[in-house]
Chain A
């Protein structure tokens, strides 16, 4: 289970309080009735599905109820950062890391030792 830092509540909470909202930074075309089938497919169905850093939306549905965005590594499930909705994609090299990481057996073992 993930621990997720909500940028509105400013604290880490369990994944149980959150709902994943798919890829972030996808803008709905303003002329949706006029675009071609190819453009609609690209907007609605096609995704990068990256093996690496993904930018995704989360909703703190059992908390503040608000949407925010996260950058997460899909190989380790480690969150690189979370940020408020409407903010641009962060520069990941410069972003300070939150302490929210995967709660793994190895990590807990390390702490216990």
Chain B
């Protein structure tokens, strides 16, 4: 792999940029791998990268039915934060945030991680009590999170309307300064490039159609549209299609797939310095480095794989944004799209072993998987390599729905879904 540096840019500038090669190789699949990961999003590619880097397992293939970065990795609103309520959540999201901080250096690829601050607006006494509970839980656990008065919130985010006569008056805000954004495509491409460099096979346009097991029930490989590929271990990291894949191994899982929409505006000059969310009125907005406002809408109420969603979901969030930021009322929206997210009943992810030996599941990230990408990938690699979960992901097992030890983060989500 050619290392990217200022010298590489200078050298290529002098010879017309003819020396850049492809980011990753596209080899023919081998008949057998030590590990197959189904799903070439950030979580799957990252897991392959960490398998090679930290566990010395390089005979790995990532099977992607579409193209790298074409799924939810390229469809989200790129927000990063770790201010969750419960220890199980704080463990994995904070692990992830720490990896974000050095990810560009680690991958030698600029993922444009920008800790510009994530601000959650409080509109009433209930919001205030809930946020302060979160702030206290976070600070006791060593995670930064601060309470701001309306004036402090306005100073941090000048476009905010804090007038007491506003339709949605603000009585404070919670701010995680280390939270922020990153470039979602770069995350997928950076992991793919770094994994490919360590010998991982990235196979695009390869859809898994079956999961084969031997007479003892152990995984032996997967059927794909490019034929059978054998594997000692298989990891599923397929977001909205996780339950479809698990059913190929005859396992029902507590997941529901729903459309989640996002939209971006026309590009404007830099005006919006941070990420702002409001749970009560469902506003969710940041400004990308290209200048577009990136706006997250909610999930639709029904199960669907259609990668689209209802218009009323979008207008709901735009209503709130126009009230909170009156200066944006005449901004035109440019694109809208949907992704299929797999939601668990307790709104916490599932990462663990399955009833099928050799089959591992990383799913249920629902509406908040992007921020978890490095941490989830890192711990999923540990799970696959060792056959048992890492300490930081020990509570995210599939069994919790049987034992009743749920991680009820529904109320801790940034916006209601």
Contact of A1 among B256, B304, B311, B401 (CB under 8 A): B311
Please name all residues of chain B whose beta carbon is closer than 8 Å to the beta carbon of A40 when the two chains form the complex: 402
On chain A, the residues within 8 Å of B401 by CB distance are 41, 45-46
Q: Which 6 A-B pairs have the closest CB atoms?
A: A45-B254, A1-B310, A49-B243, A20-B301, A46-B252, A45-B401
Selected interface stretch from A26-34, A69-77, A92-100 = A69-77
In the complex, residue of chain A having the shortest beta-carbon distance to the beta carbon of B401: A45
Contact yes or no, B303 A54, CB < 8 A:
yes
Contacts A42-B252, A45-B401, A49-B256 hold; do A74 and B310 have CB atoms under 8 A apart?
no
Cβ–Cβ contact B312 & A45, under 8 A: no
Contact with A along B375-410 (1 / 0, CB 8 A): 000000000000000000000000001111000000
Hey, which bits of chain A sit against chain B, CB under 8 A? 1-2, 15-16, 19-20, 37-38, 40-42, 45-49, 51, 54, 56, 72, 74-77
A78 to B160, CA, bound (A): 41
Cβ of A46: which chain B residues have Cβ within 8 Å of it? Answer: 252-254, 401
Complex interface: chain A residues within 8 A of B305 (CB): 51, 74-75
* B312→A47 contact, CB < 8 A: no
Q: Are B306 and A77 in contact (CB under 8 A)?
A: yes
20 more contacts with CB within 8 A, not counting A48-B247, A49-B256, are: A1-B310, A2-B310, A15-B310, A38-B402, A41-B401, A45-B401, A46-B253, A46-B401, A47-B243, A47-B255, A47-B256, A49-B244, A49-B257, A51-B241, A51-B244, A56-B303, A74-B257, A75-B305, A77-B306, A77-B308
The complex places the Cα of A16 from the Cα of B310 at a distance, in Å, of 10
Residue numbers of B with Cβ under 8 A of A are 241, 243-244, 247, 252-257, 301-306, 308, 310-312, 345, 401-404
Main secondary structure of the interface of B (DSSP, over half): loop
Q: CA–CA, A42 to B255, complex, Å? A: 12
Residues of A within 8 A of B257 (CB): 49, 51, 74
A-B contact pairs, 21 of them (CB 8 A): A1-B312, A2-B310, A16-B312, A20-B301, A40-B402, A41-B254, A41-B402, A45-B254, A45-B345, A45-B401, A46-B252, A46-B253, A47-B243, A47-B255, A48-B247, A48-B252, A49-B243, A51-B257, A72-B302, A74-B303, A77-B302
Known: A37-B402, A38-B402. A74 touches B254 (CB 8 A): no
**Complex Cα distance A19/B303, Å?**
12
Q: What B residues does A42 contact at CB under 8 A?
A: 252
Alpha-carbon separation in the docked complex, A30 to B257 (Å): 29
Measured between beta carbons, the chain B residues less than 8 angstroms from A45 are 254, 345, 401
**B244: which A residues are within 8 A, CB to CB?**
49, 51
Cβ-closest chain A residue relative to B344: A45
A105 to B178, CA, bound (A): 41
Distance between B333 CB and nearest chain A CB, rounded to angstroms: 15
The minimal Cβ–Cβ distance linking A101 to chain B, given in whole angstroms, is 13
A85 CA to B241 CA, complexed, in Å: 30
Q: B311: which A residues are within 8 A, CB to CB?
A: 1
Tell whether, in the assembled complex, residue B255 and residue A49 are in contact, meaning their CB atoms are under 8 Å apart: yes
> Which residues on the B side are within 8 Å of A74 (C-beta)?
257, 303-306
**What residue of chain B has the Cβ atom nearest to residue A102's Cβ?**
B306
Q: By the criterion CB–CB under 8 Å, are B306 and A76 in contact?
A: yes
Smallest Cβ distance from A78 to chain B, in angstroms?
Answer: 10
CB <8 Å contact, B252 and A37: no
Query: Quick one: given A15-B312, A72-B302, A76-B306, are A47 and B402 in contact (CB under 8 Å)?
Result: no
